[in-house]
Amino acid sequence: MTILYWLLFIISAISVAGCLGAAITMGMRFRETSYDNKQREAIGAIASLSMIVPIKGVDSYTEAHLNALVESLLEPGTLVEYLFAMESADDPAYAVCQHVQTRHPEQHIRIILTGPASGRMGKQHNLAIAVREVRYEAIGSMDADVQVSPDTLAVGLRYLVRPDSGVVYFLPQYVAPGQPRHRVPARGTPTIYGPPGGLLVALYSNYYYQLFMGSLALNTRAAFITGGLWLMRVSTLKAIGGLEQFGLTVSDDAAIGQAVRKQGLRNVLVPRTVRIPFEQLGLRAGGRHLLKWLAMLRAEGIGVYLSILFSWHPVLWSLVTLLTGLLLLVLTHSSLYLLCGLVLFLVALVIKLASGLILNHRVYVLPALRYLPLLIAYELLAVPFLFSAGLFRRTIVWKGRKYVLGRHGRIMG
């Protein structure tokens, strides 16, 4: 029992240290930098962009998000075209895209019908077909649920100019209905957490996945991207062999990132977020949605999955250590184990809450205390159930299609 206790203590201590390091990284390094005008002139600006939106179905916000995209403000002289790619004109998205096209006659907007995906990942199928139609120097991909700011694309292109940039991408931030854009909400602004399933997904994505994957991307030559919004030169796309190869994996983000790094280029995290509305889901449906992502993590291998389970959740494992110390107090009448476990648990609480404060202040521009108490509830109540269920999950349903996953998210059926 004492061996188990000290093993749990070491795991918890490593998790606490990892959370602290990730929070410090995001707090210190998630800030925009750019070349001055003379450096940019010497390197050569990217003068044109083909922006693709693979789309299937519509939500209440789809048209507003597409309007925000085509109203983007780019550097003077930059050419841009927008390609909305869907499988069929029968898709409800077709009429919405037509409306956006009609509303913005000054923009170069085309609707690409890609045909049936035929067992391939729908998003990558739409992208691969649309890429054949691009006319410009750089390409971009944006999920239809992403909301950009007016200068998002311009910022992304400035990072893509750098010589070692293969792909540049943005962190997605899930936002609740009515969540203010400014740092401190106006007096009387209600605190709205949104639907419980959407909140569950947001807690995992905003305060766990983005914290650890974002810090990893800022510290290393990471072999992954987050696929909500990314930009790439067409020359890089040709060098990695195009997008067709990624149609048989649901883990296309990781596959694209790995292909880019093999070319000696970097997957560059732009220190800027894009916004995604909360999923409009009840608690059970939100759990099922989150299990899709956990199934994709599990497909990367049991080692990866367990390392994430143990390293991302310091409060959970320090509590398990504390409870084991309480049991040892009963068995051995020694308070050492309980005291060490209690100190570790309190430190884990402080550091986890501090990481949330840092993310709210430096990354998400939210009121400092927003969601913090919910992080503890998520970690202690949701994580044991979800990660246990995800350990055995081999199928996911995405956009109404069911996929059987193999190694590295490869679609097996």
Tens-place pLDDT, residues 289-322 = 999 999 999 988 999 999 999 999 999 999 999 9
Pair 18, 311: CB distance under 8 Å: yes
What is the mean predicted confidence (pLDDT) over 104-111?
96
Q: Range with the lowest mean pLDDT among 99-108, 207-216, 251-260, 340-349?
A: 251-260
On whether the pTM is more than 0.85, the answer is yes
Q: What is the pLDDT of residue 44?
A: 59
Q: Which of 69-73, 93-97, 145-149, 369-373 has the lowest mean pLDDT?
A: 369-373
User: Which pLDDT value is given to residue 356?
Assistant: 97
In tens, the pLDDT along 71-97 reads: 999 999 999 999 999 999 999 999 999
Mean pLDDT (whole number) for 26-47: 69
State the pLDDT at residue 194: 76
Question: CATH 3.90.550.10 spans which residues of the chain?
Answer: 32-284
For residue 184, the model assigns a pLDDT of 38
pLDDT top residue among 363 and 118: 363
Check residue 110 and give its pLDDT.
97
pLDDT band at 69 (very low <50, low <70, confident <90, very high): very high
Mean pLDDT of 357-366: 92
Class of CATH domain 32-284? alpha beta
CA nearest neighbour of 290 among 220, 378, 351, 221: 378
pLDDT at 99 > cutoff 60: yes
Banded model confidence at residue 180, pLDDT cuts 50, 70, 90: low
* Whether the predicted pLDDT of 34 surpasses 70: no
**39 pLDDT exceeds 60?**
no
Report percent pLDDT > 70 for the chain.
Answer: 93
Q: Average of pLDDT values for 135-156?
A: 95
Q: Report the pLDDT value the prediction gives residue 142, as an integer from 0 to 100.
A: 97
- Per-residue pLDDT, 248: 81
Q: Which two tokens stand for residue 394?
A: 């081999």
CA dihedral defined by 288, 290, 292, 297, rounded to 10 degrees? -140
Distance of CA 309 to the CA centre of its chain: 18
pLDDT of 183 reads 40
